[in-house]
Amino acid sequence: MTANRLRRLAVGTILAACPAFAGQAAAQLIPIRTVPVATGDQFLTTPSANFGMAGLTYAVDDSIADGWSNPAKGALLSESSLLSAPVYYWISDASGRGFTLPVGGLIAGEKWFGGVTAALQEIDNAADGGFWAGGAGRLSDVSRRNLYAGGFVGRRLGSSAWSLGIGARTARLQAMDGVDLLYAGADRIVQSGSIDDVRLGVYRDSGRDRASAVLVRNSVSMTHDVTYVDRATWTETNLDRTRTWGVQLAWDRRLRAPGWRIGASLTANRKSHPKIPDYNIQNIPRDPGNSMAWELGFGVARSLDGTTAGLDVALQPIRSDTWQEAEDPVETTNGTTIPAGGRTIENAFSFLNLRLRVGVAHEFEKLGVRLGLEGRSYGYTLGQTNNVEGDFRTQNESWVEWTPAAAAIFRLGAADLHYGFRLTTGTGRPGVNPNRPDRASSGGEFIVAPQGPLTLVDTAVLTHQFWVRIPIR
């Protein structure tokens, strides 16, 4: 996606951010994005054995992470352990960084199983201050603190193959990475709020075939207090509210051919957006909205002589409708009147996203090595109806993100040490041309442009994860 296309479109926002708390936990939450914002791995707060295999999931087990995705799959745990998984991510061009220190444990009993985690996180804004002008920044502007906590518990049902589980996670946030870049011309942005996630899962292992289902309720409740300085200083409060109901059905089978396994899943998300922030970096006025997202996934893997190789394919058709409601009666160009509460602007987004993963792992006696590559293709069509001007326009946009990954696991007897990294390219940091000092009105007028032409600086996100697992035997 080029800067010129962004200037024509001016859609730069994360339409419906639905962060998860880890890469695997994101499996049931389908993100909706209209611009490739480089946000970093802020929500990677638990370890994953498949981190270096690009997060393969449909036909490859991940006993360390599966319980956070579906609490009933904690039944896959073979032993109890203590865990710590520090994460450091860095965004190129001095565009920001974050450090997370999580601690926790996993419990594997004969009937009961579960896990608990807590994490402290620090997020730093861009070294050059981003949109904040000149001088040393205030401590609260330069560095923000986030807190995370969660747990899950489950039980195997008698001697049957069934397991049930329930889990909950919460985040108390002072910052979500990338949000500051979506308010062009702001002097200061103070974020506060929370993300809460509850999951109920069921899992059945009949030997050759395995099936699972999980129900998810995810709530994003953030407040953005945005201060501008022009001839006067004023502060605007923007609310970011998204409520998601999600369900996922998954199945996998061990084939008769030695070492082969296939898997598939169907995921559905129903999102309501009671309030979407009025980001100045885009000129699409909107207030509430609703989205419906689907994911159809398929995977195949083979394990033989210590080597596991696999691939995942996921197709995501998504429909999102947002609109702006008139605060007062508005007269249209054809002489009619839109009453207060009527829709002045209506936006219809149709997405078709594609996600591909390939990964390979080999186990030596004391060492495990993983390699992987993920490709994500995003594409959508916007149809916008202006009921005030009586016109309609369409716009098509697409981009591709690539994420190579690698990891090594060292088995030392008393503990397992894991180091992995991944590099994401194809994303960027949106902004505006500083040579145009006129600021856009925050009132959401369709014809008002942001503070100068929109730009997109290509960046890369490098993430390091180092985790220690101490088995309790």
Q: How far apart are CA 447 and CA 2, in angstroms?
A: 22
Residue 126, pLDDT above cutoff 70: no
Q: How far apart are CA 184 and CA 431, in angstroms?
A: 7
Mean pLDDT to the nearest integer, 265-275: 91
Q: Which residue has the higher pLDDT, 176 or 255?
A: 255
pTM for the whole structure? 0.84
Residue in the structure block whose two tokens are 């899950």: 152
pLDDT 10s digits, 339-362: 988 888 888 999 999 999 999 999
What pLDDT does residue 131 have?
35
What pLDDT does residue 138 have?
52
Q: How far apart are CA 451 and CA 431, in angstroms?
A: 9
Task: Please report which confidence band the pLDDT of residue 420 belongs to, taking 50, 70 and 90 as the band edges.
Answer: very high
Q: How far apart are CA 233 and CA 185, in angstroms?
A: 12
Q: Choose the CATH number for 3-472 among 3.40.50, 2.40.160, 2.10.25, 2.40.440.
A: 2.40.160
Q: Which of 11-20, 205-214, 218-227, 408-417 has the lowest mean pLDDT?
A: 11-20
Residue 431, pLDDT above cutoff 60: no
What pLDDT does residue 430 have?
63
What pLDDT does residue 128 have?
44
Residue 178, pLDDT above cutoff 50: yes
Amino acid at residue number 377: S
Q: Which residue has the higher pLDDT, 12 or 468?
A: 468
What pLDDT does residue 363 have?
94
Read off the tokens for 96. 């920001």
* Segment of 21-25, 32-36, 227-231, 462-466 carrying the highest mean pLDDT: 462-466
Residue 436, pLDDT above cutoff 90: no
Residue 93, pLDDT above cutoff 90: no
What pLDDT does residue 417 have?
95
Residue 231, pLDDT above cutoff 50: yes
Please state the domain extents for the chain: 3-472
Q: Which of 87-101, 185-199, 436-450 has the lowest mean pLDDT?
A: 436-450
User: Three-state SS across the chain?
Assistant: CCHHHHHHHCECCCCECCCCCCCCHHHHCCCECCCCECCCCCCCCCCCCCHHHCCCCCCCCCCCCHHHHCHHHHHHCCCEEEEECCEEEEECCCCEEEEEEEEEEEEECCCEEEEEEEEEEEEECCCCCCCCCCCCCCHHHHEEEEEEEEEEEEEECCCCCEEEEEEEEEEEECCCCCHHHHCCCCCEEEEEEEEEEEEEEEEEECCCEEEEEEEEEEEEEEEEEEEEECCCEEEEEEEEEEEEEEEEEEEEEECCCCCEEEEEEEEEEEEEEEECCCCCCECCCCCCEEEEEEEEEEEEEEEECCEEEEEEEEEEEEEEEEEEECCCCEECCCCCEECCCCEEEEEEEEEEEEEEEEEEEEECCCEEEEEEEEEEEEEEEEEEEECCCCEEEEEEEEEEEEEEEEEEEEECCCCEEEEEEEEEEEEEEEEECCCCCCCCCCCCCCCCCCCCCEEEEEEEEEEEEEEEEEEEC
What pLDDT does residue 369 have?
97
Q: In the chain, pLDDT over 90 holds for what percent of residues?
A: 53
Q: Which residue has the higher pLDDT, 5 or 211?
A: 211
Mean pLDDT to the nearest integer, 244-270: 96
Mean pLDDT to the nearest integer, 418-439: 69
Q: How far apart are CA 31 and CA 36, in angstroms?
A: 12
What pLDDT does residue 177 have?
81
Q: Which residue has the higher pLDDT, 330 or 15?
A: 330
Task: Please report which confidence band the pLDDT of residue 140 belongs to, taking 50, 70 and 90 as the band edges.
Answer: low
pLDDT 10s digits, 21-65: 544 455 789 988 877 777 788 899 999 999 999 999 999 999 899
Mean pLDDT to the nearest integer, 126-139: 44
Task: Please report which confidence band the pLDDT of residue 176 belongs to, taking 50, 70 and 90 as the band edges.
Answer: confident
What pLDDT does residue 456 have?
66
